[in-house]
Amino acid sequence: MTHAVPTSFVVFGVTGDLAHRKLIPALFDAVADTNDHDVRLIGVSSQPVGAAGVQEIVRKSLADRGNRGSTVARFVERSTHALVSRDSDTLDDLGRQLREIEGPGPNNRVFYLAIPPGPAASISTMIGKARLLDAGGWGRIVLEKPFGRDLASATALNELLHEYFSETQIYRMDHYLGKEAVQNLLTFRFANPLFESTWNRDRIESVDIRVAEDIGVGERAGYYEKSGAVRDMIQNHLTQLTTLVGMEAPSSFTAEAIRDSKVRVLESVRTVATRDVVYGQYASASINGELVPGYLDEPDVDPGSKTPTFVHIRLAIDNWRWQGVPFYLTTGKRLHERSSAIVVTYRPAPVCIFHGREDDCPIGRNTVTLRIQPHEGFDVGFSVKDPDPEMQVVSKPLSFDYSDAFKDIPDAYRTLVTDILEGDQTLFVRGDEVEASWRVYEDVLEPAAAPLPYPAGSSGPKLS
C-alpha cells in the first residue's frame, strides 16, 4: 500500500551528530524496507549548505548501506535543504520554502528537532505560530530528551506545546523505549503468567536497573555540564525501564492504556530524598595500559565541576504490588563495561532443608536478568544439585538469547521513526508522564557536595 499523501520529514539539526549517526539511517531503513511511505527528507540549517550539502550528509550517513545502491541513490536525490536565519523570530520563510519543495496538493509533515534542549522550546513555538504542521495532511513534532531540565521547565514546555499542538501530534523521544529488549518487557510480563504471578512484593526482594557505559563524556561537555547523570539518564531512560517493570497490566495493548499504566506507577513512586542517592564522578586512570582523562580533565569541563557522571538511587514505590521492595537505579560513564540489564531478585526459600543451619543455607536466590544490551536476552537463575556425591546446590542460569532465535534486531531509532510515520505513540512519552517522572527527582537533580571520585574503568564508587 502506498500512502496517497506524501510526507516531508523536516529535520532541524541535520548537520549534527544525531542526524548523521542515528536519524538519517533510521529514516532510510524505515522508508526503504516498507515501501509504504512516500517520504522526502528536508534538512533545515542556518548554514547555507544547499540541497547538495544535505545530500552529501545523507550519502555519508548511508555509506554502509552500499548494497542497496539504487534505493540509496533515490533517497539521497530526493533529500533537500531549507535555510533558516539564526536571527529571525519567525519561521514564515521556512513555510514558503516547504510549499515550494512540496508543490501543490496536501502533504504530511514531521518536524524532528534533533537539536539541544535549549533552542527546542523556541523553535517549537515558531513552528506552532507559523502553523507549519498544517499542510493538508497530518502533522507531527518530535522532541528529543531531555524534555525540560526539571519539573517546572517540563511543565512550562508542555504548556507551550499544547498552545499550538494536540498531544496526539507531540512525540517525546526516549530511544530506550525503541530498544527491542525494552519493548519485550511487556511481552515478558504480560504474555507469561509464569513470571507475572510472582511479580510482586510477596516474592520479589529487590529490583536492580543498571545502565553502565564504558565511554566518557567525550566532546559533549557543553551539554553534559548542565545536565549530569540524573537528568541525562535517570529521569528518562532508567525511569522508563522502572515503569515497564513496575506497571500494572494495561487494559489493552494501546498507546493510551499502556501510558496510563506507566503514569499510575510513577504516581506511586516516592520523591527521592538525598539520603537515597550516591553520586560519583570518574577520575583519571589507566585502562589497558592507556591513561584516560578524568571528568574534570575533559575539554570544556569546569575544573571544580560537581556534575555527577555516576548515580545510584534507591526508589520506593508505595503501592500494593511493590511496597517495601527497593528499586535500585544505577548508571555511570567510564565504567569497566557497557552493559544494561534489569536484575529481579526473588526472596529466599522460606525454609532451608539442605543444611541444618539456617545461616548456612547453600541455596542461592532465584533471579531474572533481563539483558537489554549488549547480548539481548534473559537469564533465569535457579538452584540445581551438583552431581558431586557430596550434597551441593549451585546456581545456574536458564538463558534465552535473541541472536539464537531471531535474525535481526532493529535499531531503536529505526523502530521509533517507523512509529512516527505510522502515528503510533505507544513508545513515546506522554506529557503527564514526563512531568510525573521529573517530580520523582526534584530534590536530587544535583549533588550538594562534590561527588565521590571513582577510577575510570572501575565499577563506580564504593556503595556502602
Using CB under 6 A as the binding rule, the residues of this chain from 162 to 221 that contact ligand BG6 are 213
In angstroms, give the least distance from the CB of 144 to ligand BG6. 8
- Helix (H, G, I), strand (E, B), or coil: what is residue 256? helix
Peptide bond into 374 cis (omega under 30): yes
> Are the C-beta atoms of residues 282 and 216 closer than 8 Å to each other?
yes
> Are the C-beta atoms of residues 301 and 225 closer than 8 Å to each other?
yes
Closer of 232 and 419 to ligand BG6 (Cβ): 232
Is 376 a binding residue for ligand BG6 by CB under 6 A? The answer is no
Q: Tell me which residue has cell 545456574.
A: 396
3-state secondary structure string across 4-72 = CCCEEEEEECCCCHHHHHHHHHHHHHHHHHHCCCCEEEEEEECCCCHHHHHHHHHHHHCHHHHHHHHHH
Is 435 a binding residue for ligand BG6 by CB under 6 A? The answer is no
| Rounded-to-10 torsion of CA 59, 62, 63, 68 | -100
Encode burial over 185-197: b for 16+ CB neighbours within 10 A, e otherwise: bbebbbeeeebee
Closer of 213 and 376 to ligand BG6 (Cβ): 213
CA distance 309 to 307: 7
- Helix (H, G, I), strand (E, B), or coil: what is residue 461? coil
State the catalytic residues: 237
Q: Tell me which residue has cell 530524598.
A: 273
In angstroms, give the least distance from the CB of 230 to ligand BG6. 12
In angstroms, give the least distance from the CB of 232 to ligand BG6. 5
**How many residues of this chain interact with ligand BG6, rule: CB under 6 A?**
2
Closer of 102 and 232 to ligand BG6 (Cβ): 232
In angstroms, give the least distance from the CB of 223 to ligand BG6. 8
In angstroms, what CA-CA distances link 461 with 228, 237, 317, 452?
Answer: 16, 21, 25, 6
Q: What angle do CA 428, 429, 430 make, to 5 degrees?
A: 115
Closer of 37 and 334 to ligand BG6 (Cβ): 334
Q: How far apart are the first and last CA of the chain?
A: 59
C-alpha cell, 330 = 544505577
In angstroms, give the least distance from the CB of 32 to ligand BG6. 23
Instruction: Return the sign of the alpha-carbon dihedral for residues 181, 187, 188, 189.
Output: positive
Closer of 241 and 247 to ligand BG6 (Cβ): 241
Closer of 256 and 411 to ligand BG6 (Cβ): 411
343: how many CB neighbours lie within 10 A of its CB?
17
Is 232 a binding residue for ligand BG6 by CB under 6 A? The answer is yes
- Helix (H, G, I), strand (E, B), or coil: what is residue 103? coil
In angstroms, give the least distance from the CB of 351 to ligand BG6. 42
Q: In the bound complex, which residue of the shown chain has the CB atom lying closest to ligand BG6?
A: 232
Closer of 29 and 213 to ligand BG6 (Cβ): 213
In angstroms, give the least distance from the CB of 111 to ligand BG6. 20
Residues forming contacts to ligand BG6 in the complex (CB under 6 A) are 213, 232
